[in-house]
Amino acid sequence: MRGYQITFFTQQDRRHEGRPLADWLVETARSLGVRGATALLAAEGFGHGRRIHSARFFELADQPVEVTMVASAEETERLFAHLREHRVHVFYARTPVEFGTIGEDQA
C-alpha cells in the first residue's frame, strides 16, 4: 500500500483541549481509523525558537515528544482536516511511503 509517514514534533507540556497534545494526537488518529500511532519520548531537541528542550530531572515537562503514524492518503486527508477543524498548532513532517504487513499473525 502507499501512503504517508507523518511525524508530529511537540513537547510533554503542550496541551490541546485539556489533554497532553501527544496523547490527543494518538487518540485522534485511532478515532479516525488510522492503523496505528506511536508516541516516543526524546532526550533532547530544539525547535523553531532555537531553544533546547530536554528531559532533565527538573524539566521533564519540557521533554520532546514525537508522534509517528503511517496512513493511507485518505486517512491522511481526514486527519489533517480534523487538525485544521480543531485548530491544532503543531510542527509535522509528512513523507510518502510504501507500507504493509509481512508474515503470518502469530496471535
pLDDT for residue 51: 58
Lateral strand order in the sheet of 2-11:
37-41, 64-72, 2-11, 91-98
pLDDT for residue 99: 94
pLDDT for residue 12: 85
Instruction: List, for the chain, all residue ranges whose pLDDT scores fall below the cut of 70.
Output: 43-62, 107
Which pTM does this prediction carry? 0.82
Given a contact cutoff of 8 angstroms between Cβ atoms, the answer to whether 87 and 19 are in contact is no
| 3-class secondary structure, 35 | coil
pLDDT for residue 42: 73
pLDDT for residue 105: 83
User: Could you give all domains of the chain from N- to C-terminal order, each with its CATH number?
Assistant: 2-98 (3.30.70.120)
